[in-house]
Amino acid sequence: KLSRRPDYYTQGLLYHKGALYESTGLYGKSGLYKIDPVTAAYRQLTANPKQYFGEGLARLNGQLFQLTWKEGTVFVYDLDSKGILPSPSMSYAREGWGLTTDDRHLIASDGSSQLHFLNPADLSTARSLPVFLQRRPVDNLNELELARGKIFANIFMTDTILRIDPATGCADGTLDLSGLLSKAERAALAYGEVLNGIAYDPAEDAFYVTGKNWPAIYKLKIGK
């Protein structure tokens, strides 16, 4: 458990080379941060212009891709040893929610029951994947992380993470994280400040999870 100030509206989370990278939302407060997972020290890498609402975050081909919610823009940054360097932004036709990658495509959610595999060169759609749990479509798919060959997805407004087969779209596992927060911590949150943010450290086979304005980031061992 990494304590933090509860004013980071987490929209995207990833792990890379011993550090966590976080995309935060809200107009006028969106940006990118680098987090030390040992000390929980935050370093702001960039602030988005106030008219953009930051969303999902993924790393592919040495670049960070940051979605925006309704603005039709994806911010792109080159990862550098000292931080990040802005690259030209890209246009995107859907709402931006969650983002991850299979090392070939970017995989995006848009709040629906489908995931979209995007070509990173131009964000065109290579394929769309309907997601089902017990043969029923699952709406409100949000923050994403590909780990162990499966896609882990937050369901917006719930404490549930789904494990999804990227070949079939079938959810073959669910994780209930309703016990992470105490009653007092949960009572202090506003409407919509829910579980959101999944990152995976393959070296330790560990997951980091958090939520919008949550007081901590949690490091979990999740059974296979």
95 or 1, higher pLDDT: 95
pLDDT digits (tens, 9 = 90+) for 140-159: 999 999 999 999 999 999 99
Residue 4's pLDDT band (boundaries 50, 70, 90)?
Answer: confident
Mean pLDDT of the region 180-192: 92
Q: CB burial class (10 A; 0-12, 13-18, 19+) of residue 30?
A: buried
pTM, 2 dp: 0.95
pLDDT at 68: 98
Closest CA to 33 of 84, 67, 73, 71: 84
Cα–Cα distance, 2 to 92 (Å, whole number): 34
Average pLDDT over residues 92-116: 97
CA distance 31 to 49: 9
Task: For residues 138 and 71, give the distance between their C-alpha atoms in angstroms, rounded to a whole number.
Answer: 25
Q: pLDDT confidence of 80, banded at 50, 70, 90?
A: confident
Q: Does residue 91 surpass a pLDDT of 90?
A: yes
The pLDDT value given to residue 21: 96
The pLDDT confidence band at residue 224, using thresholds 50, 70 and 90, is confident
| Over residues 96-115, mean pLDDT | 97
The pLDDT value given to residue 72: 96
Is residue 84 very low, low, confident or very high in pLDDT (cuts 50, 70, 90)?
confident
Q: How far apart are the first and last CA of the chain?
A: 21
pLDDT, position 7: 86
- Burial tier of 177 (Cβ tally within 10 Å: 0-12, 13-18, 19+): middle
Tell me: pLDDT of 3 over 90: no
The DSSP bridge pattern shows strands 206-211 and 19-24 to be unpaired
pLDDT for residue 112 is more than 80: yes
More confident residue, 82 or 133: 133
**pLDDT value at 6 more than 80:** no
